[in-house]
Amino acid sequence: MSTPTARPSLTPSDAAPGTTTLVRGAIPALFVTTLLTANIIAVKPVLVAGLLVPAGIIIFPLSYLLGDVLTEVYGYASARRVIWLGFCCNLVMVVAIWVAGLLPAAPFWAENQPAYETILGFTPRLLAASFLAYLVGEFANSYVLARMKLLTGGRYLWTRTIGSTVVGQGLDSLIFITAAFLGVFPPGDIVRAIATQWALKTAYEALATPLTYLVVNWLKRLEGIDTFDRATDFSPFLLR
């Protein structure tokens, strides 16, 4: 199987030894951190400009920004590994929270058990909706960006960061809200919730475009690479 090709014309920066290794570890760490944090704080509904949305919206779109950076600089295969890493870390967190909830509380803390279950508890339906939406949305985002990079010859970065987010966040919002709340809320409310989250997350990405440009250009100079997925196997189930 062929591997992604990297444009060799970039000149690596004179960074201190070990800097690139640190950066390559920091991006996945930030990706996983934003994912786990968003899932924990999403239990709180908030009003933004009069719109009801989960609090996770303040940080979850950063995972898409970081996914864009990974795909743009290192290629789809690198992003794919980090997406699965995020999924596994999320699963570990959920299992740990569930087991901790089953353990008997200390007598002096027992009155707080309902609060623990309210804030950190999960229903199987919400979990399934969240995991499915995450995987479909993240992989769609990475795939669209990689394909658009080939179509644009690496130009117009903003078109693929925003375009991939429109697709990825759209699918994420559609799948999660529909799977989690269909039959619970009226169809009209579900449609409005999907449209609201989609619009806010896409706007978030658009506003973050200057930051994306700065990070991507800095990383390309630091690493001396600009990966194009010309012969990549885009199956989401590979780990290489």
CB atoms inside a 10 Å sphere around CB 45: 9
Supply angle C-alpha 155, 161, 164, rounded to 5: 115
Distances (CA, A) of 163 to 69, 75, 151, 222: 14, 17, 13, 26
Residue 64's pLDDT band (boundaries 50, 70, 90)?
Answer: very high
The rounded mean pLDDT for the chain is 90
Domains recognised in the chain with CATH numbers: 5-228 (1.10.1760)
Contacts of 133 (CB under 8 A, 6+ apart): 171, 172, 173, 175, 176, 179
Interval 31-50: pLDDT, tens:
999 999 998 998 888 887 78
Higher pLDDT, 88 or 1: 88
Instruction: Count the alpha carbons within 13 Å of 133 in the hemisphere toward its beta carbon.
Output: 23
In the numeric block, which tokens belong to residue 150?
């080939």
Provide the whole-model pTM: 0.90
